Amino acid sequence: MWIQENMELNEKLEILADAAKYDVSCTSSGSERRGKPGQLGNAVKAGICHSFSADGRCISLLKILFTNQCVYDCRYCINRRSNDVRRAAFTPEEVCRLTVEFYRRNYIEGLFLSSGVLESPDHTMDLLFQTLWKLRCEYGFNGYIHVKAIPGADPELIRMTGLLADRMSVNLELPTSEGLRMLAPSKSRSRILAPMRQIQRGIAAGKQEIVPRKGFRSFVPAGQSTQMIVGATRDSDFQLLAVAEALYRNYEMKRVFYSAFVRVNDDSLLPALPGGPPLLREHRLYQADWLMRFYGFRADELLTEDRPNFNLFLDPKCDWALRNMNRFPIEVNTADYAELLRVPGIGVRSARRIIAARRGSRLDFPDLKKMGVVLKRAAFFLTCGGRMMYPVRMDADAVAARLVGEEQRRAWDIEHRDAYRQMSMFDDGFLNPAPAPEDAGSVLSGQM
Amino acid sequence: MTVFVCRDTFEGILCGVYDGWTSGLGHDNVCLEIEDTGNVRMFADYRRVEEEDWKFLRVEEAVIRRAGRKTCGMVYRASLSREEEKADRIYRFLIYALSAGRDAAERLQIPAVNAVFQMNRSVENEANRLIEFLRFRQIAGGALLAVAAPKNDVIALTVPHFVDRMNAENWIICDKNRRKAAVHRSMGSTVTVHIPDGAFWEKLAEPGDQQEFEELWKTFCRSIAIGQRTNPRCQMNHLPLRYRPYMTEFT
Ligand code: SF4
């Protein structure tokens, strides 16, 4: 009997994982929670990756749709109503069993549950709520849960679901209202932003509680995230980045994800993309996103209305440095942390190491290598004890020529799906690979 | 040169440090070696380290007091490294760290510090990888069993993680290379045991219970990849081949 049942479950899983794969936000970060006696699971702040799929992206959560049936017809989406694809729906029990059994075997950190819109937003949101409730309360699951808020659903349902989840997200998908009107006529900017605002307020209200009420769960403790599709419309990199910056600032997003558009539907309003998904553009956006979140850059320092797209041959940090040669070189032994971070080839970790190490003695170029600095890039922007590594002073063009040679190879690699090699998040080729942060798989950025 | 030979444990190495330090021969004339590493020096005088709890505790206490708990943790992880010269590297590091104080571990420009930093880092990395990539399967009675073949002796570093998240399960994590295992009893304690018996290790390859979930997991891993972005090289960099024989989705 179970074989029949299991085959069915297997087929459902095949369909509903496949339908969820274009959502790129598969991180399990942001919550730190100890295990509870008798329950299954905990949560680790940095998140944990458990595997890497054939596309090199990390697998951290059981990422599935509850159902791929949908009443809407968004043009870019494989699950849109007008598509002739196999449809399936889980039951809440099935989702719970899969989550718990996968978790016990250390396959996953938890559940990522999204869904097409079945009947109505309220009905769908209610199904997601029921599933989470069962998983937390009946199955005693204490691991990570990321759930979608369905735009248009009753705010009370969203609130109750958020009390059971670690992270919630609503995807913006397209950066401009025009883009949405054209490709997702049933969605609108305001309909998407409303639940985002609600989640933001819910999180803020939770933080005001001085003493967490015993027995009460906090609302979306790992914060919210969102995703934008790159290259489905004509929007520029600057538009995407400016929107991301606004989302971080005005909606306190934990993460904005970028998803290179994959043309799954033959639709005259969609770009043809003969070269495949715009992976290099996506990569540059992630790099710029890192620069905004960890390196203190603003969107308008990296791009402007007149220069709205990223340089394909240089990463955004090198590009910025070359446009600002007057700020360099800086002295390693005296520069502050913020200044060090702006140097190409110095990352968050190497900047911290430099600050810690120079308390002991003055640093010279060979020492920097031990701190994990990529001298190939950094050498043009630094002095050690007043000396530059290369005795001749080079202008921006000469430095650019040197940097482009190296970067071009990497850029070529990315478009040819062959890259990501020396690109862990904060580190570089010299040190052993850093404990792979879970989003290094999809979200990469070099030691910039 | 006088060589102090110690056992391949944190306690053994710290006792070696004690003996070397207090021998009165001078740091430059002594060195530490792990037993059975097979490097015999022609003109060296070999001495076996006598392990005593009080020696170990004295050194550990001195490290914590003078260089801090963080540094002591770093030395502990370095002691789990597979590097043959680890004992002497730790000795050289402690000579520096006990005089330089709490920041000592951050002076990566000092070779003795860098050597221990690197060992610590690769041990930490491998422990983290194992936390990610370890796969359990269910065996008779509902217990969970995981097998790994780590290069460094890192099983102990993964135990607190699994004890916290799976305290109500019975589980075993086996280190095939060292023939030892961490065994956890539901809601109870966790112990490390050595299992020299070859038959036990042979049996580990046998299939477990509830294989339908193993099949479902493989289905999931296949379905979640985006065909248009296939990138085996990237997959390889994040998930080196040596882990895969023990991972459900690659078997
Ligand atoms: S609402 Fe979501 S699932 Fe439905 S068509 Fe639009 S993007 Fe696809």
Is B119 found in the same domain as B22?
yes
Instruction: Name the residue among B216, B224, B247 with its Cβ closest to that of A21.
Output: B224
Write phi, then psi, for A101 (nearest 5 degrees): -70, -35
Spacing, Cα A116 to ligand 1 middle (Å): 6
Q: Which of B165, B238, B239 sits opposite A42 (nearest CB)?
A: B165
Q: Based on the domain organization, do A190 and A256 belong to the same domain? A: yes
How much is the pLDDT for B174? 95
Identify whether B147 is part of a domain: yes
A160 with A230, same domain? yes
The minimum CA-CA distance between A19 and chain B, rounded to whole Å, is 8
Do B132 and A363 make contact, defined as CB atoms within 8 angstroms? no
Q: Do B121 and A41 touch (CB under 8 A)?
A: no
**pLDDT tens digit sequence for A308-348:** 999 888 889 999 999 999 999 999 999 999 999 999 999 99
Q: Which residues of A107-122 are buried (b: 16+ CB within 10 A; e: fewer)?
A: bbbbbbbbbbbbeebe
Residue owning tokens 């967490």: A212
For chain A, say whether B146 makes contact (Cβ under 8 Å): yes
- The phi, psi pair for B48, rounded to 5°, reads -85, 135
The reply to whether B20 and B80 lie within a common domain is yes
Conformational region of residue A298, where left means phi above 0, alpha means psi within -120 to 50, and beta covers everything else: beta
Choosing among B118, B169, B238, B242, which should be mutated to test the A contact, i.e. which has the most A CBs within 10 A? B238
Note whether B138 and B204 are same-domain residues.
yes
Q: Are A82 and A179 in the same domain?
A: yes
Q: Are residues A320 and A297 in the same domain?
A: no
Name the band, by pLDDT with cuts 50, 70 and 90, for residue B150.
very high
Task: Name the residue facing B121 among A39, A367, A431 (closest C-beta).
Answer: A431
A2 in a structural domain: no
Is residue A67 situated within a structural domain?
yes
Asked if the structure places residue B55 within a domain, the reply is yes
pLDDT, tens digit (0-9, with 9 covering 90-100), for B155-164: 999 999 999 9
Residue B129 covered by a domain: no
Nearest alpha carbon, ligand 1 atom 3: A116
Contact A21 B235 (CB under 8 A): no
Ligand 1: does its nearest atom lie under 6 Å from the Cβ of A79?
Answer: yes
CB contact under 8 A, A38 and B248: no
**pLDDT score of B168:** 94
pLDDT at A210 (0 to 100):
61
Tell me the average pLDDT across B136-140: 91
The verdict on B12 and B112 lying in the same domain is yes
The answer to whether residues B13 and B101 belong to one domain is yes
Helix (H, G, I), strand (E, B) or coil at B134: coil
pLDDT band at B220 (very low <50, low <70, confident <90, very high): very high
What is residue A186's predicted lDDT score, i.e. its pLDDT?
A: 84
Mutate to test the pocket of ligand 1, among A23, A72, A81 (most ligand atoms within 8 A of CB): A72
As a whole number of angstroms, the distance between CA A411 and CA A313 comes to 7
Tell me if ipTM is over 0.90: yes
Do A239 and A374 belong together in one domain?
A: no
Are residues B187 and B165 located together in one domain of the fold?
yes
pLDDT of residue A443: 33
Residues of chain A positioned with their CB less than 8 A from the CB of B109: 357, 360-361, 363, 367, 370-371
Q: What percent of chain B is modeled with pLDDT above 90?
A: 79
pLDDT in tens, chain A (448 residues): 334 445 489 999 999 999 999 988 778 999 999 999 889 999 999 999 999 999 889 999 999 999 999 999 999 999 999 999 999 999 999 999 999 999 999 999 999 999 999 999 999 999 999 999 999 999 999 999 999 999 999 999 999 999 999 999 999 999 888 999 989 988 888 899 999 999 999 999 887 766 656 556 789 999 999 999 999 998 999 999 999 999 999 999 999 999 999 998 888 889 888 888 898 999 999 999 999 999 999 999 999 999 999 988 888 999 999 999 999 999 999 999 999 999 999 999 999 999 999 987 899 999 999 888 999 899 999 999 999 888 777 788 888 888 877 666 666 556 554 333 333 333 332 233 333 333 333 333 334 4
Locate B240 and state its tokens.
């080196």
- Which letter does DSSP use for residue A432 in this model? P
Q: Would you put residue A252 in left (φ > 0), alpha (ψ -120 to 50) or beta?
A: left
Q: Do B110 and B20 reside in the same domain of the chain?
A: yes
**Encoded tokens for B184:** 């956890």
Mutate to test the interface with B, among A26, A44, A55 (most CBs of B within 10 A): A55
Of the candidates B133, B194, B180, B127, the one whose C-alpha atom is nearest the C-alpha of residue B157 is B127
Taking a C-beta distance cutoff of 8 angstroms, is the pair A274, A227 a contact?
A: no
Question: Is the bond preceding residue A155 a cis peptide, omega within 30 degrees?
Answer: no
A253 and A351 fall within a common domain:
no
Domain that holds residue A368: 316-415+437-445
Number of domain units in chain A = 2
The response to whether residue A124 sits with its C-beta less than 6 Å from ligand 1 reads no
Q: Would residue B169 count as lying in a domain?
A: yes
Its domain, for residue B104, covers 2-124
